[in-house]
Amino acid sequence: MTVRRTTEKRNWAWNLAVGVLKPPILASVRRDWRDGEKIPATGGCLVVFNHISHIDPLMAAHFVYDHGRLPHYLAKSTLFDNKVLGGFLRTVGQIPVERLTRNAVGAFDAAVAGIREGKCVVVYPEGTLTRDPGLWPMQGKSGAARIALETGCPVIPVGQWGSHELLAPYAKKPDLVPRKTVLMKAGDPVDLSDLVDQPHTPAVVGEATDRIMAALTSLVADLRDEAPPSERFDPRKAGVRPIGNPNEKPRKPRSGR
């Protein structure tokens, strides 16, 4: 495993985050990092991951950090509601996203601005934990593709596998024993060069999204040494909830008195 030191300036919050979070991660999992040097050492870029566990952001941040970059996430806006946590997240440059609202356009603008400032922005193109029964990458959302097409930045896909064994989807407690192995593999930049200068119509954005998800699926298949489904899972067609735990029944609204 090749580790590359970051040349980006870290503030106090980054130093605190690394000092607090890295030791327990190292103690909890074995890391099988592959080809992380494909993440550009400098300049704005978009790194996209498949999503199988709520612990993924910590593991992805570790992977990106180990290969020389400070990760900047599009994070759920509810995480910023707490003054202390929200202030900390903003200090380390994380970007709030209000999912399923018109305010999500602000996150797009912030991500584009971050990339143009030379930041490494991390995105989960699926928008939430995969709903695929086998935990394969499902149909992607358009956000990552739109950011990539707007900026023309390198899009580095990273397939991952194993974090779900440490913390299963929507589980409340991690499974620490025996020690789990998390595998991550970076791929070559997704080729969107023929799409960047075209009008960003739904068809063009859809094609870019499909290429990103295809690259992720190929990497996951390589890590799992299995063939992926012939068709990516579509939650809408399956009638699965778009966000939140798909196994929970929707809460009934309280009746007025």
Topology of the domain comprising 26-238: Glycerol-3-phosphate (1)-acyltransferase (3.40.1130)
β-pairing, 71-76 with 95-97? parallel
Query: Residue 160: which H helix or E strand, with range?
Result: strand 155-161
| Contact predicate 93/114, CB 8 Å | yes
Cβ neighbours, 10 Å, residue 214:
16
Query: How much is the pLDDT for 104?
Result: 56
CA distances to 27, 152, 177, 246 from 167, in Å: 15, 35, 11, 16
Query: How much is the pLDDT for 257?
Result: 43
Sheet containing strand 180-186, edge to edge, reads 29-34, 180-186, 155-161, 45-49, 120-123, 71-76, 95-97
List the chain residues with pLDDT less than 70: 1-3, 98-105, 249-257
- Domain boundaries of the chain, sorted by first residue: 26-238
Task: Convert the pLDDT of each residue in 33-46 to its tens digit.
Answer: 999 999 999 999 99
Question: Alpha-carbon distance 55 to 124, whole Å?
Answer: 13
Which pTM value belongs to this model? Answer: 0.89
